[in-house]
Structure 1
Amino acid sequence: MAGSDNFGVEKGMGSRAIEWMNSYSREKKKEFEARLEGYQISSKNFGNFEIISWTGNWSDARKIILKVSTKLSIKVIESGYHQKDNLFLSFFGLGKEFAKVYKKGNYIGTIVLGIRSGKWYIKAEKPG
């Protein structure tokens, strides 16, 4: 079963989003469970996000994070994208991880994430 800690939901909406996503996944019998990580990241262009971790199926996770963005009219970060030539480096925390930012289910930009002391931070961002 896959898992990650690199998705995010709009600050102030974390608990509500987690509750909705977990309820939706149980109802639809999807392999997905999310929880808040207890820290935030800040973006100049997109605002602040609460980081969430999840376990389950990658495909289900991506669909559910987009669905919660639409249903709750919030911004979300959908991460897990890597440059193909740097996949090896990313396993050791040396590569870049890219994330798409969505608002109400619509793509609004991209951010580049880095990791420091086990926590994600934003290296760069670009409105879409």
Structure 2
Amino acid sequence: MAGADSFAVERGKAQQVVEWMNAQTKNANQKFEAILAGYTMQTIKFGDFEMIAWSGDWSVARSIFKKASSKMRAKVIESGYHEKRELLSAMFGSSSEYGKVYSNGKLVGQIEMIKKSSKWTVKVESFV
């Protein structure tokens, strides 16, 4: 089963969004469960986000995060995208991920994150 800890939901709405996503996927018998990771990540352009850890299917996770953005009227970061690199640099280089920022179901930006001390932080952010 897949999983990630680099997805996020707008601060102040995360608990409600996580509960909604878990209920939706459970009712649809889909493999997905999300929990709050216990810390926030700050961005300059998009605001503060509560980090989410999830386990289940990647396709379900990407889909439910986009739906949550629209239905719950919240900003979300759908991440897990990686730059293609050589195998050795990927294994020994810094841990970097790219994500899409959605607001009310619409793509509004992109973000690059790096992992420092087991927590994701913003490296680069831009509007679409």
Please indicate the TM-score interval, normalised by the length of the shorter structure.
Answer: over 0.9
- What residue identity is the alignment partner of 1:23? A
Partner of 1:82: 82
More displaced 10-residue stretch of structure 1: 83-92 or 64-73: 83-92
**Partner residue, 2:7:** 7
- Residue 27 of structure 1: CA displacement? 0.6
Distance 2:111 2:95 in 1: 14
Tell me what 1:50 maps to: 50
Q: Does 1:110 align with 2:92?
A: no
Could you tell me how far apart the structure 1 residues matched to 2:91 and 2:55 are?
Answer: 18
Comparing 28-37 with 77-86, greater Cα deviation is found at 77-86
Offset, 1:96: 2.6
Alignment of 1:14-29 (within 5 A): 14-29=14-29
Aligned AA for 1:71?
Answer: K
Q: State the TM-score, normalized to the length of structure 2.
A: 0.94
- Where does residue 61 of structure 1 map in the other structure? 61
Aligned length: 128
Paired residue secondary structure (2:122): strand
Aligned letter for 2:66?
L
Give, as a single letter, the amino acid of the residue that structure 2 aligns with 1:72. Answer: M
Which residue is 1:36 aligned to? 36
- Mapped partners of 2:52, 2:122: distance in 1: 15
Q: Which runs of 5+ in 2 are unaligned?
A: none
Q: 1:86 to 1:43 in 2, by over 3 A?
A: farther
Once the two structures are superposed, what CA deviation does each residue of 1:34-86 show, in whole Å capped at 9, x if it has no partner? 00011000111000000000000000000000010000011000000011125
SS at match of 1:65: helix
TM-score of the two chains, using structure 1 as the length reference: 0.94
Separation (CA, whole Å) in 2 of partners of 1:111 and 1:12 = 20
